[in-house]
Amino acid sequence: MSEAMAATMNETIAETSTNFLATTKNAFETGIADARASVEETWPKITDAVGKGVYNSAYGVAFGVTFPILLLAKSLPQNNCIIWGFVDGARAASKYCDKTLSKK
């Protein structure tokens, strides 16, 4: 009687272990699938937010640099040596940048 009981207990333990491993495997696979779906859903939102942040930063820097310069330039009389110097300096800087970039 005890031998039959031991055989039944061993089968039950083996079945229980197998069921536990199968359930654990299914839980991991489901979790991985859910995580992948969440990432695929949120990734475009993240890239859009980062893109908007970069755009707004670049816009702010460009505006912050350009506005005071243009305000100063517009407040000066247009036909004088200061404006001529600004224009000539800007042209020289532009030519130098073009020359430097074309060497690469």
Residue 46 has what pLDDT?
93
In a domain, 91, yes or no: no
In a domain, 84, yes or no: no
In a domain, 42, yes or no: yes
Query: Is the model's pLDDT at 4 over the cut of 90?
Result: no
Total domain count for the chain?
1
Q: Measure Cα distances from 23 to 3, 14, 31, 80, 93 in Å.
A: 30, 14, 12, 84, 70
Q: Is the pTM of this model over 0.85?
A: no
Per residue in 53-80, pLDDT tens? 999 999 999 999 999 988 987 888 888 8
Residue the block writes with tokens 């272990």? 17
In a domain, 95, yes or no: no
Residue 65 has what pLDDT?
94
In a domain, 62, yes or no: yes
In a domain, 82, yes or no: no
Residue 10 has what pLDDT?
59
DSSP-based three-state secondary structure for 82: helix
Structural domain of 19: 2-77
Residue 11 has what pLDDT?
61
Query: Is the model's pLDDT at 1 over the cut of 70?
Result: no
In a domain, 96, yes or no: no
User: 73: Cβ–Cβ under 8 A, 6 or more apart, which residues?
Assistant: 83, 86
In a domain, 93, yes or no: no
